[in-house]
């Protein structure tokens, strides 16, 4: 098995690299990496339903869909990501306990009472420190997980939507849980880099034939290309998600309005707005529009309706 210590903090590139190595190689890998802030949603989730659209827009936090299922997680430089890519036998491919066991054993070696709980979480004292997801490609498995070491828990909580009552969808829901950072327990590490090095050293000693690996030029270029064509695209991150219905009541110019949006492939298929004639008239113009903040703002501007950047989030 090859060990890759990612230098890149670009979450678009790093997710693309996982897919490249999963699908275009027969080798097995253990990857450790740290990403810049991003909200990572599961393959079968509706993006706006999972994220606090207003907060991530204001803070320029990207939303990126991964190829594995499961729920939404937050990445930032205080979170260590681990990935196993392995060959597997049919019928034995999805196994969260198998791939989290080395991580749990590492934490136990540091005196942390870590446990596998629920479907795919690692918890300490009942608080979540790791969410995990898997994707099967032919006879290979991608398992990736998070480890909260010194993440901004305020940013994490603010980036992920808690009240989803305005959205109705058959897409996969997240399973929210109370979280904690490992540095609350591990005072001996100055930062996440020291923690990551300790984890690499532990795996080097406990996983047989683990050896460091440097990406080839072609692997690097394939990941760059896939990041641009897929992981940075609206089509993958927003349009790929399931159909959903959005309904919200709000005040506009001191009058109550009710907006209902039917979204398919990321586009408004039907829009109805009850309330003032001004907004009722714009409903038809929103049909065919991408359910994205800049797109909605352009429609209102074109129709000469003065709507603030605060008010636009009534439609999200």
* DSSP-assigned letters across all residues of 173-237: PP----B--GGGT-TT-SSHHHHHHHHHHHHHHHSTT-EE----HHHHHHHHHHIIIIIT-HIII
pTM: 0.94
Q: Where are the domains positioned within the chain? A: 2-236, 244-315
pLDDT of residue 93: 82
pLDDT tens digits along 223-261: 999 999 999 999 999 999 999 999 999 999 999 999 999
Q: Kind and range of the H or E element at 204?
A: helix 192-206
2-236 CATH: 3.30.930.10
Tell me which of 3.30.450.40, 3.40.50.1820, 3.40.50.2000, 3.30.390.50 is the CATH number of domain 244-315: 3.30.390.50
pLDDT tens digits along 54-104: 999 999 999 999 999 999 999 999 999 999 999 988 777 888 999 999 999
């Amino acid at each position: 098995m090859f060990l890759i210590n990612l230098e890149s903090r670009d979450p678009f590139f790093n997710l693309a690299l996982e897919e490249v190595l999963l699908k275009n190689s027969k080798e097995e890998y253990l990857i450790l990496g740290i990403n810049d802030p991003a909200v990572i949603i599961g393959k079968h989730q509706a993006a706006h339903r999972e994220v606090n659209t207003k907060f991530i827009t204001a803070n320029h936090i990207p939303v990126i869909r991964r190829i594995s299922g499961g729920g939404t997680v937050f990445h930032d430089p205080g979170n260590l990501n681990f990935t196993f890519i392995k060959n597997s036998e049919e019928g034995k491919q999805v196994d969260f306990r198998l791939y989290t066991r080395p991580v749990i054993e590492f934490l136990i070696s540091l005196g942390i009472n870590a446990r596998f709980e629920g479907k795919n979480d690692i918890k300490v004292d009942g608080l979540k420190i790791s969410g995990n997801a898997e994707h099967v490609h032919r006879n290979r498995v991608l398992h990736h997980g998070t480890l909260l070491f010194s993440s901004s828990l305020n940013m994490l909580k603010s980036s992920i939507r808690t009240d989803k009552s305005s959205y109705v969808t058959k897409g996969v829901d997240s399973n929210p849980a109370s979280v904690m950072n490992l540095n609350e327990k591990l005072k001996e590490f100055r930062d996440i880099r020291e923690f990551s090095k300790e984890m690499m050293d532990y795996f080097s000693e406990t996983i047989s034939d683990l050896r460091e690996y440097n990406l080839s030029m072609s692997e690097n270029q394939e990941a760059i290309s896939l990041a641009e064509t897929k992981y940075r695209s609206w089509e993958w991150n927003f349009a790929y998600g399931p159909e959903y219905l959005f309904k919200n009541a709000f005040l506009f110019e001191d009058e109550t309005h009710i907006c209902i949006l039917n979204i398919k492939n990321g586009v408004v298929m039907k829009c109805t707005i009850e309330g003032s004639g001004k907004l009722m008239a714009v409903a038809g113009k929103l049909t065919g529009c991408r359910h994205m903040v800049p797109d909605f703002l352009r429609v209102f501007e074109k129709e000469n309706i003065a709507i603030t950047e605060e008010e636009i989030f009534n439609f999200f």
